[in-house]
Structure 1
Amino acid sequence: MLAVRVTTWDGVKNYQAQGNLKAASVGDFAFFITQVQRKL
């Protein structure tokens, strides 16, 4: 994402999260958590 600098976020189903994303501005900080389970 650093190289692209602009990306589209789709598939966000939580309405509160959608509102927060719409309210975000350029220069705002973000915190990302991914929850991926690997099969062993």
Structure 2
Amino acid sequence: INEAEVDWEKHKAQLVQCSKCKRSFYPHRLKKHEDACIKI
């Protein structure tokens, strides 16, 4: 199996943290998540 090599540092650099739960998301998904997020 030849899997594409993933640059995790580049991937993580794109993520934005939720202000409520501190989980990380792509910027275009953050608003949707924060609207539904319940702080744990």
Q: Compute the TM-score of the two structures, normalised by the length of structure 1.
A: 0.25
Higher helix share: 2
| Higher RCO (CA-CA < 8 Å; seq separation 6+) | 2
